Structure 1
Amino acid sequence: MTISDRIAQMMNTDQPYLTDGGLETWLIFERGFELPAFAAFPLLRQDEGRAALVEYFAKFLDVAENAGRGFVLDTPTWRAGVAWCDALGLSAAEIMAANKDAVALAKTIRAARETSDLPIVINGQIGPAGDAYDGDRVLGIAAAEKIHEPQIAALAEAGADLVSALTLGTTSEAIGIAHAAIAADIPFVVSFTTETDGKLPNGTTLADAIREVDNVTGGAPLYYMINCAHPDHFRGRLEGGGADWLSRIRGVRANASRLSHAELDEATQLDAGDPIEFGALSHALGRMLPNLSMLGGCCGTDHRHVHHIATAAQGGS
C-alpha cells in the first residue's frame, strides 16, 4: 500500500499533529442535535448539520494553525458502516454514499485551509460494528472483514489518505479490519479503547492486543492508537512497557472525563473535565510513547482541550 507524502510527513514530525475532539458529544450537548445510534454522518444531508460540521472542524484547524502544527482531519463516519443500517433506517448504498460525501467535504475543507505550515491528512474514520464496551461481545475475524469491507472500500475510493478504526474492544475485529484495509490497498490505523483499569473491555492488555494483531497481520497496521479513555485509565499500563509495542502507538485521543464507559452511557450532562489538566496529561504521554505523532480528544473534549495540548507543549497556557 502506498504511503502518501502527507502521511510520511506526519509520521516523521517532532511535533505531533493535532486532531479534533468529541464530535458526537459536541453535537449533542453543545448544539442540541439528536444523533440516533450516536451517528453524526446523517447531518451531511442537512444544511444546518453540514454547517455545524464545518464550524466544528474550523475551530480545531484554527488551533493547529496558531500552534504551527499539522492536522489530521477526520470524516464524521464513525457509525457509517453497514452494521448500522437497521438502527438508522438506511440502506447500505445510502451509507456508502455518505462515506464518499464525508471525504468530499474533508477535501473541500483541506483545499480551503491547507498551507505549507498547516499540512492536513484526511482520515476516514470507522468504528466498531457493535458495542465496543461489551467485554462479552465477540465478532470473528471473517465476519469483521466482511462487515467492514464496504465502508473501507468506499473511503478508499473517495480518496482518504488513510482509514482509522477507533474505539475497538477486541483483537478479532481489529484483525478483520486489517484484512479489509489490505484488500482495499489503503494505509490503516487500529485504535483500542480501555476500561478504567487500562485493559480492553474483555480484559486483554494493550501489550497483548497490539502484539496479537501485529503477529497475525505481519505488522500491517500503520500504527496503533488509544482512544475513548481518560489518560489516568491507561497511562499506568504504558509506564515501563516493552519497547516493541510502545513504539507502535503513535496516537492518543483521550476522554475529558474520568468516568467509566458505563457511567458515561448514563450521563445526562456533559463532563468536560479540566481542559488545562487534560492538555498537560495528554502532552505528558509523549514521555512514554517515543513515536507519538498525533494527539487529540474523544468524548467530552472540544477545541479548548486540544488548544491546551498544544500550549502544554509550548510551556504556556
Structure 2
Amino acid sequence: MSPKLPHETGRLFLTHTGAETDLIFRRGVDLPNFASFPLLETEQGRAELEAVYRDQIMAAQGCDCVTILESPTWMANRARATPLGYEIDALHRANIASVDFVARLRDRHQDPDMVISANLGPMSDAYGPAADQSANHYHAYHAQQIGWFTQTPADMVAAYTINHIPEAIGIVCAAQDVQIPVVISFTVETDGKLPDGTLLADAIAQVDVQTSEYAAYFMINCAHPDHLDPVVTAVKRLRGLVANASRCSHEELDNATELDDGDPAELASQLADWRKRAPQINVLGGCCGTDARHLRAIARQLSG
C-alpha cells in the first residue's frame, strides 16, 4: 500500500532539495554541472549521498514529521545530462537506479510512511529566461523521464524549480498521460513573481485551468521566505515551501563562490510563521544552502 501523499492528510512533511549545495560546499564533493545522480556509480559516491539523506531522515523522525525522499534526478533529463556524456540508454538506467536508491533507504529504515518522490528538473536553466516553447513541446520532452519514473517505486513525480507556465502545463499533462501523481514547484524572483512577471497565484490558476486541476498540489522552492508575496497564503492549492538559506537573488547565487547558509533558526521560524498564516501548507524543507542544521531546526519548529 502506498503512503499517503501530503494533499491527502494533515500530517507534516519534511523534504530537502539542497543536497547539491550540501555536497559541494560542506562535504567537498565534486558535482560536474551540479548533477548528483552520477554519484550512484561509485561506492564512495553512494555513501556521500546516503549521508545527506540520513541527516534528513533523522531530523524528520526526531520530530514526528513524515520524510519525503527526493531522488537525485533534478539534472537527469536529456538536455541537461547529455553534456555529462549520458546517452539515452545510460540515462534511462541512471533514472531507474536513482529512484531505486532512495526506495531502498525507505526499506532500510522500515518506515512505510516515507514518500518516494521522483525529482524532475526544468529542461533548461531554472534561473535563466524562459525558453520560447509551447506546452506541447514540454509535454513531449518530459514524457520520456516521467515514463521512466513509472518503472520505479516512486509514489509521485515532483517538478522543482519550474519558472514558467508552459513547462508546468507540459509536465502535468505528461504525468496525467500515465496517471502518476505530480507536484509542480515554482521558483520565484526576489519580488515573489515568476521571471516573466507573472504572479504566483495567477500561474497556479493558469496551470490548473489548462490541466483540469490534475496536479496533486503546488509548491515554491529555491526562494527565501523574504521573497514571497504574502497574498499566496490564500492560494489553497499551495501546500509546500522549500526555502533557500540565503536572501540572495538567483543571479547572485549563480555567481557565488562561497556558500551563504544563512541562519538555520531564523529560517525555521520564518517557515513556521508562513504555516501559521496558511495552515494548508504541510510540506516544508530546505533548498540551496541548507543542510542538517536547517532541517533539524525546521522539524523542531514544525513539531513545536
Q: Which range, TM-score by smaller chain?
A: over 0.9
1:196-217 residue CA offsets vs partner (Å, 9 max, x unmatched): 0000111111011000000000
Aligned residue identity for 1:283: A
- 1:97 — aligned with what? 93
1:115-149 residue CA offsets vs partner (Å, 9 max, x unmatched): 36xx2000000000001222343332111112111
Matches for 1:196-211 after TM superposition, within 5 Å: 196-211=190-205
Q: Does 1:22 align with 2:15?
A: no
Distance 2:256 2:231 in 1: 27
Matches for 1:109-258 after TM superposition, within 5 Å: 109-115=105-111, 119-238=113-232, 241=234, 246-258=235-247
Q: Does 1:7 align with 2:4?
A: yes
Q: Does 1:81 align with 2:77?
A: yes
Helix, strand or coil for the counterpart of 2:170? helix
Distance 1:62 1:259 in 2: 29
Aligned residue identity for 1:309: I
Distance 2:178 2:78 in 1: 16
Q: Does 1:276 align with 2:253?
A: no
Helix, strand or coil for the counterpart of 1:163? strand
Q: Does 1:62 align with 2:55?
A: no
Give the TM-score, by structure 1 length: 0.92
* Aligned-residue offset at 1:12: 4.2
Helix, strand or coil for the counterpart of 1:158? coil
Distance 2:275 2:8 in 1: 14
Distance 2:241 2:190 in 1: 16
Helix, strand or coil for the counterpart of 1:18? strand
1:177-196 residue CA offsets vs partner (Å, 9 max, x unmatched): 11111112210000000000
- 2:48 — aligned with what? 52
Q: Which runs of 5+ in 1 are unaligned?
A: none
Helix, strand or coil for the counterpart of 1:49? helix
2:16·2:56 contact (CA, 8 Å) conserved in 1?
Answer: yes
Aligned residue identity for 2:251: A
2:7·2:217 contact (CA, 8 Å) conserved in 1?
Answer: no
Distance 2:295 2:270 in 1: 12
RMSD (CA atoms): 1.5
Aligned residue identity for 2:64: G
Using the aligned pairs only, state the percent identity. Answer: 41
Q: Tell me which moved more, 152-161 or 268-277.
A: 152-161
| Matched length | 304
Aligned residue identity for 1:299: C
1:157-189 residue CA offsets vs partner (Å, 9 max, x unmatched): 112000000000011000111111111221000
